[in-house]
Amino acid sequence: MGQYETKDIRNVAFVGHGASGKTSLVEGILFKAGATKRLGSVDDGTSISDFDPEEKERKTTIDSSILHCNWQGREINIIDTPGYPDFISGAISALSAVETAIVVIAATSGIQVNTQKMWDIASDAGLARVVVITKMDGDNIDFPALLDSIQNAFGKECIPLLLPVGHGPDFKGVVDILTLPDEVPGEVIGDVEDSREKLIEAIVSVCDEQLEKYLDGKEIEVEKLKGCFSTAIASGSIVPILCCENKESLGVEEIVDVIAKFTPSPGKGLARMCVSIEGEGEEKEVEASKGAPFSAQVFKSITDPFVGKLSFFRVYSGELKNHPEVYNVRTEKNEKIGHMFKTFGKEQQEIKSAIPGDIVTISKVEDIYVSDTLCDPHVKVKFKDIKFPNPMASLAIEPKNRGAEQKISEALHRLVVEDSTFKVSRDVQTHELVVTGMSNLHLDVILSRLKSRYDIEVESRQPKIPHKETITTKANAQYKHKKQTGGKGQYGEVYLRIEPLERGGGFEFASKIVGGAIPSQYIPAVEKGLRETIAKGILSNNPIVDVKVELYDGSFHNVDSSEAAFKIAAAKAFNLAFNDAKPVLLEPVVNIEVTIPSEFMGDITGNLSSRRGRVQGMDSFGDLQVLKASIPMDEVKNYETELKSMTGGRGSYTMELSHYDVVPSHLTQAIIAQAKKKAETVD
């Protein structure tokens, strides 16, 4: 591998909706650049990028894949990312490690849900962006209309650089309008002169010197324009639109050219900020040079069945060589870096040193996770953690084979380390082991990996909805616990006042006992009796929340009183007061955002309303609408399946827990009856 400098590196992530042709385009680039000997295919399962057995079977990218090639002296690091929102964590982490996002759009399907998501993440992060339209050989393509929709959705800074020569079966290639050929083919789609004028206008607007020349009507040399073009792309002032088709690799060479010549190097791209740990903790810009202290961030982690744990990090400053020790900010420990690799799909190639801009893989360092900052032990800095969305699709699981409990928790932990949008928890209320992901498909892939990698089969079901109980008004009650059965008796009497607290107020206990009506040593027993009762619940065996209890009177017996007696008296008195305080059930309510093509708007709004949803607002981009609503979690347990069938698979949604609210009375009785029935079967 030839030696290169940071200025020669280009880091790009290919992002976009599923089936937009990202992986095929990456295969085409690798083949053109001579990094592979034959053109890999997703459909045949021969792609370098989709090497996981699960990806080959499903013919779709599930994990991000790291590759590289050299083109005209530029070392191009490529991250191919998953396109479906179900596997979004791979795309988010990839975008954190690059300077440029290549947003891929299929000419046959246009802008889709995840195209917009990826665009938003890349532009919010300040990355340079390039739009590539693939599948120009497809049927029913309207290229000018597609350009309009891109500019409407993403802004006027999106400007074509390559125009297609024909489309559909007649697609013959592309014309670069910046460096026009002497003879422009007649079948070019679009106005070449007008497009070139707009492109040059946008380019010179970022360079004062060239702008003056342009306004004076002087001709500007193409080389000067190219220099300004790079600046404009790095700053986001221009997003060039390119086009290609993958089967014959038409337009692919021009795309690699644009990446090599015009996308920013680590030194010219997005300025990376870190916080100094020692000292004032002020934010500062990282210097992308070999001479600066070492700093890097982990953006991906996998467990390879042969090599063990692999951690992938992007070097931002300094040089790494000769197996040094680096400091992990999260663990506050030094880690010894052994062998370092450059990754090419599933292959690892050992390297001796790494410089700013490099994407490096290390193996067998167990305590390194995604988002960890690695740095020089003497100059400690921290990068912001990578932000992932909250997963909300959950399943309760249990292993089919008894005795696999220990094994399953270790295996699930490994899968959590690999995927930042996968979570595992044990619900203390329902005692279920719950796995949570971005969607049912996401969880399906996770459980499939559990079986193929770790030989653990599970049974899954919808998790129980964790209801809670509370009161809506004040109440008083008194209870005397008195037993006399030969020998020492039991005696304790308590007077309680209860009142509701604000939602989220939890439980408050206050003793207002004066004059020793209850000796102070028994008051903790009263509180304990209350806490045990509220943990178990009264109406539906769900915990009681948002209640304040005041102990204001009582009586005791010198001989027969005990902690146990006061515990029982408190529980019974609370039970009486609770039932008088107009108790209600609470259910979790989520905020949901549903993204759908405009034509389904009426159906989806009606459907959400019929599920007790309240629409809070709407947004739109291009032909897509985003509906924001608040809805009980119980109503959207199987929403994914229904949304897919209502929109022909074109709708998607995200949700996060918002708050708890009162269950309507007509639904409360069924929940209480179900809880009683379950309690009887357990007894």
- Give the Å distances, CA to CA, from 672 to 427, 466, 467, 542: 20, 13, 11, 10
Looking up tokens 């665009």 gives: 119
Residue 259: how many CB atoms within 10 A of its CB? Answer: 22
Same structural domain for residues 181 and 69?
yes
Residue 205 is assigned to a structural domain of this protein: no
Both tokens assigned to 474: 């004040």
Please tell me whether residues 426 and 311 are part of one structural domain. Answer: no
Whether 337 contacts 325, CB under 8 Å: yes
pLDDT at 388: 92
Domain boundary among 357, 382, 407: 382
CA atoms within 13 A on the CB side of 409: 6
User: Is 309 in the same domain as 365?
Assistant: yes
Phi, then psi, of 173 in degrees rounded to 5: 140, -160
Question: Quick check: 297 and 329 in contact, CB under 8 A?
Answer: no
Q: How many domains does the chain have?
A: 5
DSSP designation for 167: -
CA distance 498 to 473: 8
State the CATH number of the domain containing residue 659: 3.30.70.240
- Pairing type for strands 381-382 and 373-375 reads unpaired
Kindly list the distances between the CA atom of residue 349 and the CA atoms of 47, 48, 53, 308, 342, in Å, as whole numbers in the listed order.
19, 15, 22, 16, 5
Residue 94 lies in a domain: yes
3-state secondary structure of 285: strand
Q: How far apart are CA 159 and CA 203, in angstroms?
A: 10
Query: 43 and 71 share a domain?
Result: yes
- Contact predicate 123/58, CB 8 Å: no
Positions in the chain short of pLDDT 70: 1-2, 279, 486, 622, 682-683
Do 93 and 111 share a structural domain?
yes
Contacts 24+ apart (CB under 8 A), 144-147: 144/189, 144/190, 146/105, 146/107, 146/110, 147/190, 147/241
The reported pLDDT for the residue numbered 2 is 52
DSSP 3-state of 295: strand
Where in the sequence is the domain holding 623, given as residue range(s)?
A: 585-666
Q: Do residues 76 and 154 share a domain?
A: yes
Burial class, 280, CB count within 10 angstroms (exposed 0-12 / middle 13-18 / buried 19+): exposed
Give the pLDDT confidence of 254-305 residue by residue, as tens digits. Answer: 999 999 999 999 999 999 999 988 767 788 999 999 999 999 999 999 987 7
Q: In what order do the strands lie in the sheet with 74-80?
A: 65-71, 74-80, 9-16, 100-106, 128-134, 239-243, 158-160
Rounded Cα distance between 289 and 266, Å, is 9
- CATH number (domain holding residue 422): 3.30.70.870
Residue 683 included in any domain = no
Go through the chain and tell me how many residues it has: 683
- Last residue of some domain: 528, 556, 581? 581
Q: Angle between the 440-454 and 405-418 helix axes, to the nearest 10 degrees? A: 120
Say if residues 92 and 122 touch (Cβ distance below 8 Å).
Answer: no
Do residues 79 and 87 make contact, with C-beta atoms less than 8 angstroms apart?
no
Instruction: Give this prediction's pTM.
Output: 0.84
CA distances from 179 to 174, 416, 664 (A): 12, 49, 68
Q: Are residues 556 and 592 in the same domain?
A: no
221 lies in some domain? no
Give 150-192 pLDDT, tens digit per residue: 999 999 999 999 999 998 999 999 999 999 888 889 899 999 9
The predicted pLDDT at position 1 comes to 45
For residues 361 and 348, is the Cβ–Cβ distance under 8 A? yes
Q: Cα(288)–Cα(267) distance, rounded to whole angstroms? A: 6
Residue 522 included in any domain:
yes
